[in-house]
Amino acid sequence: MIHPAHKEKSVAIVDQAIREGLSFDIEFDIVRSDGMIRSIHSIGDVIKKNEKVIKIFGSFHDITEQKNAERALLESEEKYKALYNNAPLAYQSLNSMVKLSM
């Protein structure tokens, strides 16, 4: 089941694709029957003939681990920036030309 927070937008995108015969590319969360939330990337295409939909095809890919890694990286960057910006010391670095920068 599509997570309630993403359902309206996801359904609207797919409905528009069906009405206009367009492809779609969306990300949304689902809630599994065991309550676990997973992130999904879905792409699809709509085939129309004489203004009538004759086929909808596509794929769903579980991108939960990718999303978790992205969140962890952002958190790590934020912690690093906070440490760097609030440290009581001056930081110095040398580049390959041995020029001091602060």
Residue 91's pLDDT is 66
Q: Are 91 and 84 in contact (CB under 8 A)?
A: yes
Geometric angle at alpha carbon 58, from 40 and 41, rounded to 5°: 15
Average pLDDT for the chain? 90
- pLDDT tens column, 32-71: 999 999 999 999 999 999 889 999 999 999 999 999 999 9
Q: How confident is the model at residue 8 (pLDDT cuts 50, 70, 90)?
A: very high
Q: Are 27 and 41 in contact (CB under 8 A)?
A: yes
Neighbours of 66 (CB within 10 A): 12
Note the maximum CA span of the chain: 71
Rg (CA), the chain: 23
Residue 98's pLDDT is 63
pLDDT at 99 over 90: no
Q: How confident is the model at residue 95 (pLDDT cuts 50, 70, 90)?
A: low
Q: Are 53 and 47 in contact (CB under 8 A)?
A: yes
What sign for the dihedral angle of Cα 14, 18, 20, 22? positive
- The residue written with tokens 């065991």 in the block is 34
- In order of their start, the domains of the chain are 4-86 (3.30.450.20)
pLDDT at 100 over 60: no
Residue 16's pLDDT is 94
Q: What is the mean pLDDT of residues 28-32?
A: 97
